[in-house]
Every structure is written in C-alpha cells, then in structure tokens.
Amino acid sequence: MAEAGVDIRNQQSQHIDDLSGIPFDFVITVCDHAAERCPVFPGEVAVIHRPFDDPPSLAADAETEEDALRHYRRVRDEIRDYAESLPGPLEPA
C-alpha cells in the first residue's frame, strides 16, 4: 500500500460489533468470502458486491516473493480503479 501512497501502518481490522450504532448507507464487499458472511446491517443499507481475486490464494504457489507481490499489486490496483469509478457521493437507492 505504501507503494501506492497509502499509509496503513496504524490501521487494523474491526469486528462488526465495534461498529454498532453507526448508520451505513452502503456496504461494499470486495470478495466472495465477505459477501457470503457479511452480516445484516440494520436500517436501509445498500449492499454492493464487486468480487476481486483473493491475493493470498493466488500467491500461495508463487515461487518468489516478487511473484507473490504481483498478485497483491494487481488486486490493489483493481480495487483502487473500482473505487475511483464510483460516483461520488453515492446516492442510496
């Protein structure tokens, strides 16, 4: 991510329970695993699913670290391009 100018050193995953009480207009899932296990959000929430390849699965058989990183970089860039293509601000349906 640093290669793309994004500092994620202080970021961490959060459990859905940590987000209770926060209203969401949209939930965007970017992998099938998340889409299948995405919890139900209260209220009117638009759920958008845009599947991307899973870099750890693709990189598992890589012969070198550079080959593995190629998968992560490609998916990172695909997600960035997708996010940049979204209309802003999104309008709930």
Within 8 A by CB and 6+ apart from 26, the residues are: 45, 46, 47, 48, 90, 92
Residue 74's pLDDT is what? 96
Does residue 12 lie in a domain region?
A: no
- Classified as helix, coil or strand, 24 is coil
Same-domain status, 63 and 79: yes
Does residue 72 lie in a domain region?
A: yes
CA-to-CA dists, residue 21 to 18, 24, 25, 73, angstroms: 9, 9, 13, 34
Does residue 14 lie in a domain region?
A: no
Return the CA Rg of the chain: 16
Does residue 13 lie in a domain region?
A: no
Same-domain status, 57 and 83: yes
Q: What is the mean pLDDT of each run of 10 residues along the chain (93 residues)?
A: 91 85 86 79 84 94 96 95 83 54
Residue 87's pLDDT is what? 82
Residue 23's pLDDT is what? 86
Residue 46's pLDDT is what? 86
Same-domain status, 48 and 62: no
Residue 92's pLDDT is what? 54
Expressed as residue numbers, the domain containing 70 is: 53-87
Q: How many domains does the chain have?
A: 2
Residue 89's pLDDT is what? 67
Model pTM score: 0.77
Same-domain status, 40 and 59: no
